[in-house]
Amino acid sequence: MKGIIKAFLFLLYINITPIILNYNEYQNFMKNYLVKTLSGTICLLLFSFCTTTHLSANTKDCIEKRSSIDQDQVLQLMKKVADWQLANPTGKGLNTWDYAPFYIGLMQLYTISKDEKYLNAIVEMGDSVNWTPRARPYDANVYAITQVFYELYEIKEDKHIIDRSNFMLEMPLRRRLENDVTFDGNKYWWEWWSWCDSLFMAPPAYARAAAVLNNPEYLNFMTERWWDTSDYLYDKKEHLYFRDDRFFNKKSKNGSKIYWSRGNGWVIGGLTRVLDYMPKNHPERKKFEQQFIEMCTRLSAIQTEGGYWGQSLLDTKFYPQKESSGTAFFIHGMAWGVNNGLLPKDQFMPIIKKGWDFLTEAIHTDGTFGYVQEVGDSPTDVSFDDSESYGSGAFLLAATEIYKLINTKY
């Protein structure tokens, strides 16, 4: 608009000027005007070119700074989330499955930072529950906390830390009944690994105990039970898990199968932790790796533009709110896969970066990790203010692998 007004005024001026000035004066005026205008235009173009080049360089540098992150930044975020969770207990038992992912993540934070504060927090938790899993034998959920006990035992070498965990892990092995992984209508569903979450809770505990105690029986039992559950709940076409058999025929409002984000996140976390402890030459290892690669490849194709995954993985319009706990497990898994040479870096780094950006946005200024869906088994409403201890734990696991993945930037 300003350009149009200037052009109009200029035309008006050059038409009125001859009336005011004589012809010779008018010619001199136009000659001087055109020279000045042409010179000004050239100067303006040169200035514009130089400024644009300078701004482009600055913009590029700014983008690089925003898209890079160093290990210290990751570590500070981990401490921020961990410190808030430690200072704000949920009121649930510290040896429950809800808290287990947090203490598993806290152990990872200690491993990276070597800050005794976090190791002491784990010791205090263990002392407060007398190093005892919940009194519910055979339930996969109660084994989750034992993963931390076995890891701490490797540091402290105090058998008291794992005595009760050993007893709990032995019980299912001595009761060799036929495995029943049905869920719907099964009043003993919790005694078997009949829901996909269970694959994070129990299998890594058996894999860890097998390594710590040099007991291959634990590993054999774990692999047998894993594949029983997988054969039942894993959709080999979609390369995703149903949460349990109640969802075989359920559909979202938009007609899609319901594959729950955090449920599949639990499985991804279970796979990475089992593979962490499973010997490289174990006959079942390739099979676990194959399932891990299949799932991550499928998940890589359905990440949202916002960096998170929809609660219903194949229908992002079904409860479309942002959710962080499932996403954190996926980013943990993908970064772990790149770090361990199972996933191609060039293909997965953009996905990991986008997901990590979302996870950092979920952190409140005080360290609360938000957008965490409440305890459940399927998509529900969730908001920025929703937080749970297992969400903080999932973030710590994701951040651990991001920390390992980067040097100064990625």
Is the domain of 26 the same as that of 150? no
Domain span at residue 10 reads: 1-41
CATH number of the structural domain spanning residue 254: 1.50.10.10
Is the domain of 30 the same as that of 102? no
Is the domain of 307 the same as that of 241? yes
Is the domain of 158 the same as that of 204? yes
Q: Determine, yes or no, domain membership for 371.
A: yes
Is the domain of 23 the same as that of 150? no
Residue keyed to tokens 């700074």: 65
Is the domain of 37 the same as that of 78? no
Give the total number of structural domains in the chain: 2
Confidence of residue 32 (pLDDT cuts 50, 70, 90): very low
Is the domain of 175 the same as that of 214? yes
Q: Determine, yes or no, domain membership for 325.
A: yes
With 60 as the cut, is the pLDDT of residue 384 above it?
A: yes
268 with 355: CB under 8 angstroms?
no
- CA 25 to each of CA 17, 35, 36, 71: distance values in angstroms, whole numbers, following the listed order: 10, 16, 16, 72
Q: Determine, yes or no, domain membership for 157.
A: yes
Is the domain of 274 the same as that of 324? yes
Q: Which of 197, 244, 245, 386 is catalytic?
A: 197
Q: Per-residue pLDDT tens for 327-359?
A: 999 999 999 999 999 999 999 999 999 999 999
Is the domain of 91 the same as that of 9? no
Is the domain of 36 the same as that of 118? no
Is the domain of 92 the same as that of 11? no
Q: Determine, yes or no, domain membership for 60.
A: no
**Stretch among 28-32, 65-69, 222-226, 340-344 having the lowest mean pLDDT:** 28-32
Q: Per-residue pLDDT tens for 93-149?
A: 999 999 999 999 999 999 999 999 999 999 999 999 999 999 998 999 999 999 999
Task: Please say whether the dihedral angle defined by the alpha carbons of residues 29, 32, 36 and 42, taken in this order, is positive or negative.
Answer: positive
Smallest CA-to-CA distance from 131 within 111, 156, 108, 148 is with 148
This prediction's pTM: 0.84
Q: Is 197 a catalytic residue?
A: yes
Is the domain of 107 the same as that of 9? no
Q: Determine, yes or no, domain membership for 46.
A: no
Q: Determine, yes or no, domain membership for 67.
A: no
